[in-house]
Structure 1
């Protein structure tokens, strides 16, 4: 049986030599050199394009584009920024309530405000298309306040009913 410490360093496997060196049984070789990693991958080379850290906005933009969130985020921004889009005074009397199949429905405080916004439809639609092209708004619908309906319940009678309800 041979002593492993007596075997020359050139014949011992690297793992055994490392073990012996760490245990203090054999002095480390002066000729030991670290192997240099040779890479042909240019993406990891320093000072190449794309190695600098990106801006946070650009990273979030790429993430939202890759995840398919741009349409949803544009719609949320449209609702959130309605005051800037339509004007502060108009925004006090109106609010977007739904966006379905390309039609943005805006609920107004009164029928007068709904009619005024219908006159401004082209301007508002152009501004929405310029600021939020990903939202997918193709048309606008302005509605007035909800009026009470007497046409519901288990005992509703079909037809027009009495006409003297409001005076």
Structure 2
């Protein structure tokens, strides 16, 4: 046996090196990498919110004042409308309930009666109605020569077209008063004042007689 055969076989340097552990690959096939401080990216600073620009119409000031008023103690809560709800419409009840009130349909006659009563026009309307029906109340013959002119404090003023008819109406005055009180109510007309026709002035110049007879009746 030779010396080479008796010498044990020495391991090679490549075989003596321990196997270095390799990082296990993840499921996606990429291995773990050593992270160095230089590889860490710089932190991005948070963006600074921009201040609301001032609006020339003053809407931002109004909103700020409204928020400040709502924050005061004892302030009423602010009702917020739902987005997209649209403008609110005020609705009225279509019925007035079990009892009648002013919202119920009213007749024109009843509405006019309440208006007249509230202004105290009852007597005036009755008097004007009598003036309009004068011919019906006193007769066609008397109405053709006598015309009512005014009524105040129970006194009815009637104008005649001649002195003869003025005298005639004075005789008929009691009957006319009764007829008018029937239409207007008892005690409405107390006296009839009869006036003659409108006569022109016969006075000429600056002087006149004190005890003279004056103008004669030439109109009837």
When the two structures are superposed, what TM-score results if normalisation uses the length of structure 2? Answer: 0.48
Cα offset, 1:122, TM superposition:
1.6
Root-mean-square deviation over aligned CA pairs: 3.5
Q: Residues of 2 paired with 1:83 and 1:124: CA distance?
A: 12
Contiguous gaps of at least 5 residues in structure 1: 1-12, 24-42
Are the counterparts in 1 of residues 170 and 194 from structure 2 also a CA contact under 8 Å? yes
Q: Conserved in 2, the CA contact under 8 Å of 1:71 and 1:135?
A: no
Residue ranges of structure 2 left out of the alignment (5+ in a row): 1-77, 87-94
2:151 aligns to what SS in structure 1? strand
Q: Give the CA deviation at 1:155.
A: 0.6
State how far apart, in whole Å, the 2-side matches of 1:125 and 1:134 are: 10
CA contact (8 A) 2:158 2:193 kept: yes
Could you tell which deviates more after superposition, 106-115 or 155-164? 155-164
Query: Displacement of 1:68 after TM fit?
Result: 1.7
User: CA contact under 8 A between 2:155 and 2:189: conserved in structure 1?
Assistant: yes
- Of structures 1 and 2, the one scoring higher in RCO (CA 8 A, sep 6+) is 1
What is the total number of aligned residue pairs between the two structures? 131
1:118 is displaced (CA, Å) by: 2.0
Paired residue for 1:130?
182
Question: Does residue 125 of structure 2 align to residue 60 of structure 1?
Answer: no
Contact residue 94 and residue 108 of structure 1 kept, 8 A:
yes
Structure showing greater Rg:
2
Q: Give matches, 1:77-88, under 5 Å.
A: 77-88=129-140
Offset, 1:14 = 7.0
Deviates more, 1:109-118 or 1:49-58: 49-58
Give the secondary-structure state (helix, strand or coil) at the position aligned to 1:44: coil
- 1:16-165 to structure 2, matched below 5 A, reads 16=81, 18-19=82-83, 22=85, 44-46=96-98, 48-49=99-100, 53-133=105-185, 136-151=188-203, 155-161=206-212
Q: Identify the structure with the greater helix proportion.
A: 1
Q: Using structure 1 for the length normalisation, give the TM-score.
A: 0.61
Change (3 A) 1:109 1:14: closer
Structure 1 162/97 Cα, relative in aligned 2: closer, same or farther at 3 Å? closer
- The structure-2 alpha-carbon separation of the partners of 1:164 and 1:45, relative to structure 1 and needing over 3 Å to count, comes to closer
